[in-house]
Chain A
């Protein structure tokens, strides 16, 4: 069963009445992102890591690397493997056990951003063509789900990758070096509810809206990933509006937090 946060009718009405007045329950404007903080290198054992706080949502991303076999169809390219754990500590609606479809979708979207933006130079991760390449494990650990953990996870992934050192010396492959990063993909999510578009939904807003669209942009303002999620519908005009919002907001986030 899809994991949902049960929300009372009264709370729904409360949020909805705010919307009618052009307000959000936490006082934000519709296109306002919550406060972001990124702390890097929080896990010494990881090759790279980042703790992202998005409002009260908290996501920890760790990057581990090790040599391994390349895929047959790309013998001289490194491998990216992305996983996400929605551990029960993060929300009363998360359950222990193998990843459910929500966790899988989240991991695949984080992966899509990194892969499709070509942020990691995979050719540079070849050790012996056809035999040995670097495998980059991106592991997303959701710690506190107060809404929009996807954007936080994607942000954590690129932040962690940007602080990743390739552990070459540990495997007798020369000196450690900084993982070369070529792009900075940023995911932004907007939800739609009764024709209102709201950027960066909080957990209660997520519970009332059943349509969201995530747009992942690259540093040059192009789009490298998109995903509509949830059981509602979007008009094309709404899609285009969301893209405008996403491009603008991603640029801001990129400049403020990652290009320093």
Chain B
């Protein structure tokens, strides 16, 4: 199939009914894993991604230790059943690259100097993939890091913009990603400091500019949702203890 065979817009809206600058529905849950020090489950459109943080903890093998700071490891992994055609289990070159840039998206805000000689492990499992798994993974990982009590200068939020039928669109879904003209994922602090930027496809410098602005707007909206998810977790904790108090007085 060629991009010219598909029409990405109907009555000015996208195939899934979104406007060009609209995010897919997002759901974020904090603290979903009992064993991990911090965890987060996220749904972004059809993506279902879970992130776990372990640490800071001892580094194995030991020679990886850094004397003055914690190292950060990030493992992006796709479940074999997460995509249409079964993915061979284990890391491939794509996941190695995504792990590297995702780690570099988060590391700038982590206070690694607080924990010399230790490691902070971030594990991201893509359970269901629908374009934008790396951005979903980073969003979940940032929340999981906060949940683990890791000191950070700020949160990190990630979102992509794409180009279909010469139009810049926010948060491309599968069809737009597969048959579109460009994909530009970014990650940033709420301040607008960019910590991840990748791009493939074809954009004029002006379009590039527009895509960055749009992705940043998306990331800002996602930040609000991440923040709310964390605050909500706390409120639930308070409610829960409130109930138990009533129970204890029976």
Contact = CB atoms under 8 A, between A and B. Distances in A.
Interface string A100-127: 0110110110001001110000000000
Contacts of A224: 200-203
Given A104-B93, A104-B97, A239-B212, A228 B202 contact: no
A104 B200 CA distance: 17
A231 B103 CA distance: 8
B101 interface: yes
B62 to A, nearest CB: 11
Interface stretch (B37-45, B142-150, B189-197): B189-197
Contacts of A101: 96-97, 99-100
Interface residues of A, number: 34
A218 B96 contact: no
A91 interface: no
A3 to B, nearest CB: 12
Contacts of A228: 101, 104, 194-198
Nearest to B64: A1
B8 interface: no
Interface in B97-139: 97, 99-101, 104, 107-108
B198 A227 contact: yes
B199 A225 contact: yes
A229 B104 contact: yes
The contact size tier of chain B is 35 or more
B199 A223 contact: yes
Contacts of A247: 205
Contacts of A230: 104
A231 B107 CA distance: 6
Contacts of B196: 228
Contact of B208 (A102, A227, A243): A243
B184 interface: yes
A233 B201 contact: no
Contact of A116 (B100, B108, B193, B202): B202
Contacts of B205: 221-223, 243-244, 247
Given A231-B108, A234-B193, A239-B194, A223 B97 contact: no
Interface in B156-196: 184, 188-189, 192-196
B193 A231 contact: no
A233 B195 contact: yes
Contact of B189 (A104, A213, A227, A233): A233
A107 B195 CA distance: 21
A227 B196 CA distance: 8
A61 B193 CA distance: 36
Interface of A: 1, 101-102, 104-105, 107-108, 112, 115-117, 213, 218, 221-236, 239-240, 243-244, 247
Interface of B: 63-64, 71, 93-94, 96-97, 99-101, 104, 107-108, 184, 188-189, 192-205, 208-209, 212-213, 216
Given A116-B201, A226-B198, A233-B194, 20 more contacts: A101-B100, A102-B100, A104-B97, A105-B96, A116-B200, A223-B205, A224-B200, A224-B202, A227-B101, A227-B197, A229-B100, A231-B108, A233-B193, A234-B193, A234-B195, A234-B197, A236-B194, A236-B213, A243-B208, A244-B205
Query: What 6 pairs between A and B have smallest CB-CB spacing?
Result: A226-B199, A233-B193, A228-B197, A231-B107, A101-B100, A104-B96
